Amino acid sequence: MARVEFRNVRKQFDDQNKQTFTAVAGSDFVINDKEFVVFVGPSGCGKTTSLRMIAGLEQQTSGDIIIGERIVNNLHPKDRDIAMVFQDYALYPHMSIRENLSFGLKNLKKPKDYIEKKVQEAATILGLEEMLERKPRELSGGQRQRVAVGRAIVRDPQVFLFDEPLSNLDAKLRIQMRVELGELHKRLGATIVYVTHDQVEAMTLGERIVVMNKGVIQQVASPTELYANPKNMFVAGFIGSPAMNFIDARIEQGRVVIDGAEFLLSEDAAAGLQGYNNREIILGIRPEHIYGDDFAPGVSTEHQMQAHIKVVEHLGSENLVYFKIGSRTVTAKVHPETKAYNNLDKQFIFDLSKARYFDPATEERIV
């Protein structure tokens, strides 16, 4: 069973001035056997440190790390039965692709026949058969990336660890490799832990996603759950592009008041927000849940307000419309047939059935 578990794992670093810095602040999670889990969050949030602690490249300050059935706290990286794919691929430039793929197994003193079989298998899976005699410099970025993955595959590890493996590829290749990695996971049926700061990569690859910020796990959930029911404003703002709008609002007798406009709350929302009567809240609504009044098929027209359009961006399949409510800029992602241009005063429809409400002090979601 290739599961990975963190039990209250902390990692502290001492900087040059002997100040202690907490990179990972007591993480708890379970990654199930054969699961594809993505660690995502902004730069410096502790993703790579968490991955390196699974690999044994970094020793945790406290807490337990379990891989399979074993507590691996004091186990050397080579004894953890994991394989890591790095951002820079770490290929040996003077070796052929075949030698690069074989290297780890030779070090483990595996028999020659076995090594050949494993290299051939990995080359077939990754479409590298024609390139085995070439040197890394004779390959494209995407092919080099596949070799790096191949080096992990030949070892049949319990767990694959990926540290931003696509970040050195251009946008088009990144999408192609993203699809390939997703397929590879299905084919290998392996447990994969994958680090990225790219929320689109996280959403498309992860069966579950661990969202981190400043060393603290914010939420662990499936992509759809994170998107629909973010636990707090950090997750709500981080997952989704363009980001969720946050609008200053007030609750008054079962209504939400936004910049002078009053909207009746649904029964569920009213019940959840009972303790917030006559208080300020933050209303969160995604750009695709705001419509122009001339193109809102199937949406209740109950919740409308007028706004002055600042800027419109035409993206072809959709338009992004920016307007202000109070001091906040709001983004609407509307159908291209919606009439919208700079400086137009327009009625917008808010699909409040999709809105989320947050406590301005704690930034936690209320309902």
Binding site for ligand ATP (CB under 6 A): 13, 15, 21, 23, 41, 43-49, 197
Q: Is the sign of the CA dihedral 43, 49, 52, 57 positive or negative?
A: positive
- Least gap, CB of 14 to ligand ATP (angstroms): 8
DSSP-derived letter for residue 365 is B
- Least gap, CB of 42 to ligand ATP (angstroms): 7
By beta-carbon proximity to ligand ATP, the closer residue of 16 and 107 is 16
Residue with tokens 């680090």: 195
DSSP secondary structure of 218-269:
EEEE-HHHHHHS-SBHHHHHHSSSSPPEEEEEEEETTEEEETTEEEEPPHHH
Which candidate, 226, 152, 182, 199, places its Cα nearest to that of 40? 199
By beta-carbon proximity to ligand ATP, the closer residue of 28 and 280 is 28
Taking CA atoms, 150 is separated from 15, 169, 236, in Å, by 36, 17, 36
By beta-carbon proximity to ligand ATP, the closer residue of 15 and 113 is 15
- Least gap, CB of 45 to ligand ATP (angstroms): 4
- Least gap, CB of 241 to ligand ATP (angstroms): 17
Taking CA atoms, 59 is separated from 24, 52, 72, in Å, by 12, 8, 10
By beta-carbon proximity to ligand ATP, the closer residue of 214 and 231 is 214
By beta-carbon proximity to ligand ATP, the closer residue of 13 and 86 is 13
By beta-carbon proximity to ligand ATP, the closer residue of 6 and 323 is 6
Alpha-helical runs (H) found in the chain = 47-55, 97-107, 112-126, 141-153, 171-188, 199-205, 223-228, 233-238, 267-272
* Cβ contact 209:29 at 8 Å: no
- Give dist(CA 82, CA 2) in Å, integer: 10
By beta-carbon proximity to ligand ATP, the closer residue of 22 and 266 is 22
- Least gap, CB of 23 to ligand ATP (angstroms): 3
The helix (H) or strand (E) run that includes residue 282 is strand 279-285
- Least gap, CB of 295 to ligand ATP (angstroms): 39
- Least gap, CB of 59 to ligand ATP (angstroms): 11
Residue 67 dihedral angles phi and psi, to the nearest 5°: -125, 125
